[in-house]
Amino acid sequence: MASKTLDDLFHETLKDIYYAERQIVKALPKMARGAQDPKLKAAFEKHKEETEGQIDRLKQVFEIIGKRAQGKTCPAIDGIIEEGEEILDEFKGTPALDAGLLAAAQAVEHYEISRYGTLRAWAQQLGHREAVTLLEQTLAEESKTDEALTGLAKTAVNTAAQKAA
């Protein structure tokens, strides 16, 4: 069996997040449609646009390592998105829907932050400097999104969820 190195791990993890981003870009419009608070809706829509740019960046990273852009099924993101869909279903029409959707979106962001943090560190180790820059740009967007969601939860969404319909 051929020995596997950090190059292989980097490539495999890139495929993982590429798959994840392509699932996320499909899930965000559903979450935006479901959200009741206009600010939460707008946050999901904005992040959908950003996610399209993130997919483009990943394609550039594949190019940098001389591989074709290709995804690999990631059961972790599938599960997180599925939980979001459950919230959409089970909390439809209730005051708690937005708080549930927001929490599901933050779980997605945290998964991404974990992946991009690792990929950035590995790109650094492997000397892929251009990839480091690209991965850092995305990591910054994911972190900003996470912070914006926390802000919305604290200022509006959680309070609204506590009220009786």
Contact positions vs Fe ion (CB under 5 A): 51, 54, 109, 112, 142
Give the nearer residue to Fe ion in terms of CB position, either 34 or 51. 51
Nearer to Fe ion, 22 or 39 (CB): 22
CB of 108 to Fe ion, least distance (A): 6
Cα–Cα distance measured from residue 92 to residue 71, given in angstroms and rounded to the nearest whole number: 32
Number of alpha helices (DSSP H) and beta strands (DSSP E) in the chain: 6, 0
Min dist. Cβ of residue 138 to Fe ion (A): 6
Which candidate, 13, 36, 46, 1, places its Cα nearest to that of 123? 13
We find the least distance from the C-beta atom of residue 164 to Fe ion, in angstroms, to be: 32
Q: How far is the CB of 83 from Fe ion (least distance, A)?
A: 16
Distance (Å, whole) CA 61 – CA 43 = 26
Which C-beta is closer to Fe ion: that of 100 or that of 145?
145
Pick the closer one to Fe ion by CB: 51 or 62: 51
The pair of three-digit structure tokens given for residue 117, joined into one six-digit string: 């943090």
* 94 secondary structure, DSSP code: S
How far is it, in rounded angstroms, from Cα 51 to Cα 18?
11
